[in-house]
Amino acid sequence: TRLILATRNAGKLTELKAILADAGLSHDLVGADAYPDVPDVKETGVTFAENALLKAHALARATGFPAIADDSGLCVDVLGGAPGIFSARWAGRHGDDKANLELLLAQLGDIADEHRGAHFACAAALALPDGTERVVEGQLRGALRHAPVGTNGFGYDPILQPEGETRTCAELTAEEKNAISHRGKAFRGLVPVLRELLG
Ligand code: ITT
């Protein structure tokens, strides 16, 4: 059966397909770009879970297929959890990863390493056309570097060094990142729910 991946973020889509395939999910995975006529939903929620559910419901309702969505971001301790749900447009323009990362580094300035704690957060939401919904969340704890390193991944990956790692997320292979990431944890947690509700 068809399962819609309710995202237009290419980096997320690549990771989601790998995470779900590794978990043995055999559904026909189709990105939101296959439905260009479905308008982007306004992310009016105040939590990752609320926004993930908004996106999943919008696609499930519009397509008549089950849909899963990812809402995620970087939460910085000394910024009280910002950028958080505003991570994709922190510097103003939605999806401008380079500008977002540079603004965040500038905001942190030369704050010492012991005060550069942060985590990635991800809410994985499932919505069925009948309105059934489920959410599972995951986090990846780490510290922020003073300058970007690495070219893999997307978004803030070049500045987050996971706990227990010497490399940034952008220096990890896709497999290494998915094994420990907020997204990997959230969506692997959603897999048993998908099996139960979708068969
Ligand atoms: P969709 O809503 O279409 O899924 P989006 O990019 O708008 O795409 P979000 O609102 O959830 O999605 O924003 C997520 C932002 O958080 C993303 O643009 C990155 O800047 C950041 N982010 C999330 N996961 C990340 C990861 O694994 N590595 C680096 N940055 C990440």
The answer, yes or no, to whether any atom of ligand 1 lies below 6 A from the CB of 63, is no
Average pLDDT taken over every residue of the chain = 97
Tokens found for residue 132: 């059934």
Q: What share of the chain is helix, strand, coil (3-state, %, to 5)?
A: 45, 25, 35
pLDDT per residue over 114-149, tens digit each? 999 999 999 999 999 999 999 999 999 999 999 999
Asked whether residue 156 is marked as a ligand-binding residue, the answer is yes
Whether the predicted pLDDT of 45 surpasses 90: yes
Which is nearest to 73 in space by CA: 126, 123, 24?
123
The answer, yes or no, to whether any atom of ligand 1 lies below 6 A from the CB of 35, is no
What residue ranges define each of the domains in the chain, with the CATH number in brackets? 2-198 (3.90.950.10)
Atom of ligand 1 at shortest distance to CA of 8? Answer: 3
CB 51, CB 42: distance < 8 Å: no
Atom of ligand 1 at shortest distance to CA of 101? Answer: 20
- Which of 71, 77, 97, 130 is catalytic? The answer is 71
Distance 106 CA to ligand 1 centre (A): 20
pLDDT tier at 95, thresholds 50, 70, 90: very high
Beta strands in 14-57 (DSSP E): 28-31
ipTM of this model?
0.98
Of how many residues is the chain composed?
199
Mean pLDDT for 101-117 is 98
Q: Is 159 helix (H, G, I), strand (E, B) or coil?
A: helix
Is 71 known to be catalytic? yes
The answer, yes or no, to whether any atom of ligand 1 lies below 6 A from the CB of 9, is yes
Cα–Cα dist 123/142, whole Å: 18
Tokens found for residue 86: 């505003």
Whether the predicted pLDDT of 1 surpasses 90: no
Percent residues over pLDDT 90 in the chain: 98
Whether the predicted pLDDT of 199 surpasses 90: no
Which is nearest to 16 in space by CA: 156, 195, 136, 178?
178
